[in-house]
Structure 1
Amino acid sequence: MITDIFERFFKLDAHGTTVKTEIVAGLTTFAAMSYILVVNPSVLGLSGMPIEGLITVTALSACIGTLLMALMTNYPIAMAPGMGLNAFFAFTICMTREVPWEAALGIVFWNGILFLLLTVTGVRTKVAEAIPHALKIGVQCGIGLFIAFIGLKNAGLVVAHPATLVTLGDLSEPAVALALAGILFTIIVVMKQITGGILLSIIVLSLIGVFVPTESGFLTSAPQGVIGMPDSISQTFMAMDIWYPIENFAHTWDLIFALMFVNMFDTIGTLIGVSRRANLLDDNDRLPKMGNAMTADATASVAGAALGTSPVTSYVESAAGVSAGGRTGLTGIVVAACFALALFLTPLMKVIPLMATTPALIMVGILMMDSIRQLDFDDLGALATAVVALLAMPLTFSISEGIALGFITYVAIMVGTGKGKEVSKLTYALALLFLLRYLFDLK
């Protein structure tokens, strides 16, 4: 029987779970993270990538990544193109640094290869330990602010101003007012712990958008159908330019590092956080198959680059499935199957307006600010390091600039206060490289 096969492969009894529980957990995780099917294409589309096929790419990369995690680790952790990483791809690499999207996919490819090499060789642990704790927190929170700022901008709630740089948008505009209402609605449903609350807000706003007039018709147009074949990915599949980062290394090295930095610590934080809830950590508070999990993550990013998306990473929404009882990779198998089935709902997802996705961006940004609690506010040096990185990202519209300024600030403070011996050689080297990049304008 198929139940016996699941038992032998996933060791359900040993983990105190059943096939039914794992299926429910998988459905719960998918409901919690399925908003990425709509949000990721809307973000990547701003980079200049062809919109056609991005829903398919997102679903396929999520399916592949989640299967890799399930089969290589037997953990109930799902994967998909990461929020924050897609913003870095679109807004920092493509829009701010003016790197063609094909070359940006090449950067994602090399990020995955480097991530994989660091994991296989064990250097990953040394790199993780060398990065200041305050900087890790500042980067995560800064990305949260950056994503929220993008959401406010896309919604028209924040607009450009010649004197003050930014100002409040026109709330008398129906679409802008609806976006504001959507943000409040999203926060409420998430606070009420409604499963798939972010997805629910996208659906509700899209339905209301049918009645909101615009210059070209209505905010939400009528779908051409409910079920249909997935869009072709011929425009993005294997379109990555892997030679661009090598030929323009002086222009891209910091982007590759920043992408790896964000990807690595986002993955580690998610894996540890979700695994702790699932009681998968050993007596030393370590994840037994961390190496396999990181390998799955890196491999999924390489596969994602080949398909045509930003890095694929572990999703904290997996905690929703864990709370529903998920304990093994069978949960991931169910999530992957759901992403595969979602491919045939593309006609519905294509009519969701950009406005409907903005509350999701802002909500994710708010949730990413959660780690600010781990910051020691009595340590002024740590506080300054985190705040510089945190503020620099939305204000410079660049995640990599926030990381660079954070490194420089941390080293300057430590040396200036006589604590230079506490700084690792790797941190010194990176701070020096970033400083030289600014001094010689190597961008």
Structure 2
Amino acid sequence: MNSTIGNRSIFERVFHLSERGTTLRTELIAGATTFLSCVSIMVLNPTILAAAGMDQKAVFWATALSSCIGCLWIGLWGNFPFALGPAMGLNSYMAYTVVQGMGLSWQNGLACVFTSGCVFMLLSAFKTQQHIVDAVPDCVKKAIGAGVGMFIAFCGFQSAGLIQKSDSTLVTVGDLSNPGTVLALAGIAITAVLVIRQVKGGILIGILLVTVLGLFVKDPVTGAAYTTLPTSVFSFDNPAEALAPTLGQLSYRGMFSGPLPFVLGTIFAIVSFLFVDLFDSLGVFLGIAPKAGLVDEDGKTPGAGKALFVSAGAAAVGAVLGTSTVTIYGAESAAGIAAGGRTGLTACSTGLLFLLTLFFSPVFLMIPSIAAAPALIMVGIFMMEPLSTLDLSDFSVAMPAFFAVAAMPFTYNIAYGELFSMLSYTLCMAVTGRRKQLSPTMLILTAVFLMYLILDAIF
């Protein structure tokens, strides 16, 4: 009994559970919810980076270890309930654009990621990130949150099979007779009922229930069940041998030699990794911090610089281990926050579960994407709330809000939604005679965003 009390006092001292209005049980459930929402990265990241010529098993290990380190770092140092892991999109950028398109080696690609992470950390030394977070106007912050919600929901609709690509209309409704889509719809309904009834861990229960039901529902394309029982529960390799193909293999050899367009392309690749990591981290942080109650009375987020520093550091660590950019997860972190996560204990429990994948990978990898879809859609619904407090009759508020909410899912890029939202806000302030409301930091951000657009257009 004394031991239990002692353990609780340790959790209280480190994570301030009662101050944040949460409990040990709630935090652990939230951590498990977050983990189950992002465990698919353990399959997707090695598969994508294999296209760049990287060893899949080594990338699997690098993914688990870098995610674990990032989650523990942000949980213990920043006390934030955020998960970190290799960013979907940036892994594809590295494999298909940087390596296959530009002709750099995957070792060079990791060097680009490492450099961008170090520059990101350098910016943090001057507290640049905290200034950025504090300088973003309230209407843009709230719009970014709603935009992230729309992006998350869009991902959920895709995973559920509720939407699919179309040659004529880009996207259209999916096959509603598909058994997987029907199962996902059932999961959405069940999860919604659990949330409405305020059942603790409702989102987690929804994920697990769909996973179990997936054992009895077959994919008409493959003929196999959506959830497949693993042949073994336990699996573990020698760490030194498993990581050897990628650990410390990043290299700058040949990156800055050759024709000028090649060198400029390499520099732009580094800048792209930096900007997307910075914008994504900032956008996700601004979007989900309010849902976790991490915003003060002035609308500022204390400690934002710590969170963004960890995101930068985790990117550098991931590159050394052998994976593309590690960053703060938006949809997955929001799922844990929706389940009640409020402190770094949520992040730490998520990180330890990432570590467990190295021992029980067959079990964790059996969770189908349709099981996470209902959770993502529920989170998207939750994150629409901030829009209700905006005066959308004011065009200077409505325009940046619209661009944030529309551009993120339409471009499939959180960074572009944030970019267009802030640029439109600056434009509105300039033409309505409210230029004095633009802080020096906001003006610098505007210049940086414009430069990014120009570089993106040129290259």
TM-score bracket for the superposition, by shorter chain length: 0.7 to 0.9
Residue correspondence of structure 1 range 375-414 to structure 2 within 5 A: 375-414=390-429
* Corresponding residue for residue 117 of structure 1: 122
* Superposed CA offset, 1:156-180 (max 9, x none): 2212223322211111121222222
* Change in CA separation of 1:256 and 1:291 when aligned onto 2, cut-off 3 Å: closer
* Change in CA separation of 1:215 and 1:144 when aligned onto 2, cut-off 3 Å: same
- 2:371 corresponds to 1:347: no
1:167 counterpart SS class: strand
- 2:323 corresponds to 1:299: no
1:181 counterpart SS class: helix
Q: CA deviation at 1:387?
A: 0.7
Query: Any stretches of 5+ residues in structure 1 without a counterpart?
Result: none
- 2:269 corresponds to 1:256: no
Contact 1:78 1:335 in 2 (8 A): no
Match of residue 147, structure 1, among 152, 165, 176 = 152
C-alpha distance in structure 2 between counterparts of 1:69 and 1:113, whole Å? 17
Query: Any stretches of 5+ residues in structure 2 without a counterpart?
Result: 101-105, 257-262
* Change in CA separation of 1:111 and 1:22 when aligned onto 2, cut-off 3 Å: farther
* Corresponding residue for residue 259 of structure 2: none
* Superposed CA offset, 1:200-246 (max 9, x none): 33332222222223343322223112233269455665566776998
Contact 1:321 1:331 in 2 (8 A): no
Q: CA deviation at 1:55?
A: 6.2
* Superposed CA offset, 1:227-269 (max 9, x none): 3326945566556677699862335535522421331354467
* Corresponding residue for residue 141 of structure 2: 136
2:458 counterpart SS class: coil
- 2:83 corresponds to 1:80: yes
* Change in CA separation of 1:391 and 1:416 when aligned onto 2, cut-off 3 Å: same
Q: CA deviation at 1:136?
A: 2.9
Counterpart residue type for residue 222 of structure 2: S
Contact 1:61 1:312 in 2 (8 A): no
* Superposed CA offset, 1:32-80 (max 9, x none): 322145233355467455765666555433432343345445x4x4442
**Which is worse superposed, 115-124 or 227-236?**
227-236
Contact 1:131 1:427 in 2 (8 A): yes
Counterpart residue type for residue 38 of structure 1: V
* Corresponding residue for residue 367 of structure 1: 382
Q: CA deviation at 1:344?
A: 2.4
* Corresponding residue for residue 40 of structure 1: 41
Counterpart residue type for residue 300 of structure 1: A
TM-score (norm 2): 0.74
* Corresponding residue for residue 223 of structure 1: 230
- Aligned Cα RMSD in Å? 4.3
- 2:439 corresponds to 1:442: no
* Change in CA separation of 1:227 and 1:144 when aligned onto 2, cut-off 3 Å: same
* Change in CA separation of 1:177 and 1:9 when aligned onto 2, cut-off 3 Å: closer
- 2:161 corresponds to 1:156: yes
Q: CA deviation at 1:347?
A: 0.8
Contact 2:130 2:303 in 1 (8 A): no
Residue correspondence of structure 1 range 20-99 to structure 2 within 5 A: 24=25, 26-41=27-42, 44=45, 47-48=48-49, 52=57, 56-69=61-74, 71-72=76-77, 75=79, 77-81=80-84, 86-89=87-90, 93=93, 98-99=97-98
Contact 2:134 2:301 in 1 (8 A): no
Q: CA deviation at 1:413?
A: 1.8
* Corresponding residue for residue 207 of structure 2: 202
C-alpha distance in structure 2 between counterparts of 1:289 and 1:395, whole Å? 31
2:421 counterpart SS class: helix
TM-score (norm 1): 0.76
2:172 counterpart SS class: strand
Between the two proteins, what is the percent identity of the paired residues? 29
* Corresponding residue for residue 260 of structure 2: none
2:188 counterpart SS class: helix
Contact 1:182 1:359 in 2 (8 A): yes
C-alpha distance in structure 2 between counterparts of 1:10 and 1:246, whole Å? 49
Count of aligned residue pairs for this structure pair = 426
C-alpha distance in structure 2 between counterparts of 1:166 and 1:13, whole Å? 47
* Corresponding residue for residue 187 of structure 2: 182
Contact 2:161 2:175 in 1 (8 A): yes
Contact 2:84 2:327 in 1 (8 A): yes
C-alpha distance in structure 2 between counterparts of 1:59 and 1:143, whole Å? 25
* Superposed CA offset, 1:340-359 (max 9, x none): 34542211122233333333
* Corresponding residue for residue 172 of structure 1: 177
C-alpha distance in structure 2 between counterparts of 1:166 and 1:11, whole Å? 48
* Superposed CA offset, 1:139-170 (max 9, x none): 33223222322332233221222332221111
